[in-house]
Chains A and B, each alone.
Chain A
Amino acid sequence: MAGGAGLIRRAAAGGLGLLVAAALLAPYAVMLLTALKPEAELRVTPPRLLPAEWRPQNFWAVLRDPEFQSWLRVSLVVAVVSTALVIAAAVPAAYHTARHRFAGRGAFLFLVLVTQMFAPTALVVGLYREFFELGLINTYAALILVNAAFNLAFAIWILRAFFASIPREIEEAAAVDGCGRAGTLLRVVLPVALPGIVTATIFAFIAAWNEYIVALTLMTDAAMRPLTVGITTYVTAYVQHWDLLFAASVIAIVPVVVLFALIEPYLVSGLTAGSVK
């Protein structure tokens, strides 16, 4: 191989890569640095990148803010319960469609694909009408159901791929050993599909955690706001707590970035169902 030229190419790629990483992270670095400034420093012209006085206490102020705690609680309840619903509904559907041909299978998968394409945004007026007429505005149930339904598709695609990769012989052997259908699923199939379940769980959790438009529409009561809607009240026409807004954002973003990085290898196949192999 051409050693010299290859080395130069790799060094150039490394330099370019460093620039790309810097460009992608720079806005979030500003978010973090602004979260670490005392409020008085936000109104300095010309603006400075680094805080003159570092103020990590902003993070404590946010964590101790009862409103922030309320938003966090709503976000956690919605994300955890909707994720549990997604897994409970997706596991049997993914398993059955991965293992059996039956009338309506194609139609079902088509329906799932269409729900994935329809972010709730386009349907938001219909969703509001539905939950308004059911008297479920400002309830956990409404937001949990919407998140569960729209995050179902990704979980089904990911789990189907894992179930399909399990050799039938393993299941047949388990059946010979006296496991029933449910027993086989619980004791043999689910452990093998565990990475798929972890991936689907993390994805559904993050999608619900980050959801904005449905929460903005259905959760009009201040006590029922999740984080995405709640943090925007730190900066309004009347108050300008950019330091707290960004401290809260950093708290909300860091854990999901770590979780997202864990499932990165599976993301594309789940989001481009039926295509890129």
Chain B
Amino acid sequence: MGRALLWLGPSLVLIAAVVIYPAVELVRASLGRYSITGLYQGAVGLRNYGRLLEQEALPTVVGNTVTWVVLVVGITIVISLGLAQLLNAPFPGRRLVRWALIVPWAASLIMTSKLFVWLYDYYFGLVNRALVAAGLLRGPVDWLGDDATVMGAMIAVGVFVSLPFTTYVLLAGLATIPGEVYEAARVDGASGWRAYRAVTLPLLRPALLVAAVLNIIYVFNSFPIVWTLNDRNPGMAHDTMITYMYKIAFKSALRDVGLAAALGVVNVGLILIAVLAYLKVSRWREEPV
């Protein structure tokens, strides 16, 4: 045990100082009262949690979060299933497509988000230009300013940046399916779509579950897209629980540390539930040496 501590020590110190300690601080802050300049002014019990429930914006924000997570993850997985299928078989130019898939993954999310603010621009954005030229729109749309289109516009970007990781996980899953399975299916008369449903999808289940749960965590935690694409709009009408928490803590007139921390604890609790789901679907266990 002492020896192990020596080898694990640096990692343990880092995790204790920068993951566990802030988690404790978060809980403590959620139970306290703070001045507008951030000074601790004593404990208030669960009062911040009570105030959180009374916030007028809360139902909207929770609804937005559910919409954001469910639609981004759902649409991403459907498209990624197709992309993984496409990239699993050899064709000329496959390497080029795999490289193209790297770009939205490697690029900084804040830079990609700024890029989409520009692309969605009412006057100068190429999205309106292309859709009008193609006859799909009669006139330009204020994608990021119109309450009816903001969430959809953000979801499109969320899907765009989630596709690479998801597709690569599903490709890794497809690689574990032996070719003989398809031979057997063909002998049984199943091919094409039927073989896909009867053979591929069930065998892909573990990879699908892992991709789904990890994406739920990533998309729930996602900050730069909603923060950037929604930053022109006043109020909390299009915020998720993460950006709402950030606004309460650092940006709005509220600057209410206790309230933000209470929401932070709720967010951490939700992620913990997702982590437990991950452990279950990935059948995580301590593997033998």
Contacts and interface: CB of A to CB of B under 8 A. Distances in A.
Interface of A: 9-11, 13-14, 16-18, 20-21, 24-25, 27-28, 30-31, 34, 42-47, 49, 85, 88-90, 92-93, 95-106, 108-109, 111-115, 117-119, 121-130, 132-133, 145-146, 148-150, 152, 156, 164, 206, 209-210, 212-213, 217, 227-229, 231-232, 235, 242, 245-246, 249, 252-253, 256-257, 259-261, 264, 267-269, 271-277
Given A31-B111, A145-B14, 17 more contacts: A9-B89, A10-B89, A10-B91, A14-B91, A17-B86, A100-B289, A102-B1, A113-B275, A119-B221, A125-B260, A126-B23, A127-B18, A128-B250, A148-B14, A249-B114, A259-B106, A268-B169
B26 A125 contact: yes
Interface in B149-179: 160, 163, 165, 168-169, 171-173, 176
A228 B114 CA distance: 11
B93 A108 contact: no
Nearest to B262: A125
A103 B79 CA distance: 44
B286 A17 contact: no
A246 B115 contact: yes
B78 interface: no
Interface residues of B, number: 106
Contact of B126 (A47, A96, A111): A47
Nearest to B271: A122
Contacts of B281: 275
A260 B105 contact: yes
Interface string B1-25: 1011011111111110111011111
Contacts of B92: 10, 14
B100 to A, nearest CB: 4
Contacts of B18: 127, 145-146, 148-150
A240 to B, nearest CB: 10
10 cross-chain pairs, A with B, having the tightest CB-CB distances, nearest first = A126-B26, A275-B282, A126-B22, A149-B18, A96-B7, A260-B106, A89-B10, A13-B91, A21-B100, A106-B286
Contacts of B77: none
B214 A232 contact: no
19 contacts: A10-B90, A16-B86, A17-B87, A17-B96, A18-B97, A95-B7, A96-B7, A122-B268, A126-B24, A129-B257, A164-B289, A206-B106, A213-B224, A213-B246, A228-B110, A232-B110, A275-B206, A276-B206, A277-B176
A112 B109 contact: no
A264 B19 contact: no
A261 B278 contact: no
Interface stretch (B50-58, B67-75, B116-124, B194-202): B116-124
Nearest to A41: B124
Contacts, number: 297
Interface string B190-216: 000000000000000011001000100
A154 B199 CA distance: 32
B129 interface: yes
Main secondary structure of the interface of B (DSSP, over half): helix
Nearest to B83: A20
Contact of B29 (A100, A125, A152, A261): A125
Nearest to A95: B7
Contact of B103 (A11, A25, A42, A128): A25
B276 to A, nearest CB: 10
Contacts of A125: 26, 29, 245, 249, 257, 260-261, 264
Contacts of A133: 25
B221 A122 contact: yes
Interface string B251-289: 000000100110010011001001100110111111101
B289 A92 contact: no
Contact of B289 (A27, A34, A99, A229): A99
Given A126-B24, A126-B29, A25 B100 contact: yes
Given A106-B286, A123-B264, A260-B106, A212 B19 contact: no
Contacts of A108: 8, 11-12
Contacts of A123: 19, 22-23, 26, 264, 268
A18 B86 CA distance: 11
Contacts of A152: 11, 14-15
B108 interface: yes
Nearest to A259: B106
B11 A93 contact: yes
Contacts of B134: none
B15 A149 contact: yes
Contacts of B124: 42-45, 47
Contacts of B15: 111-112, 115, 149, 152
B223 interface: yes
Contact of A130 (B25, B96, B108): B25
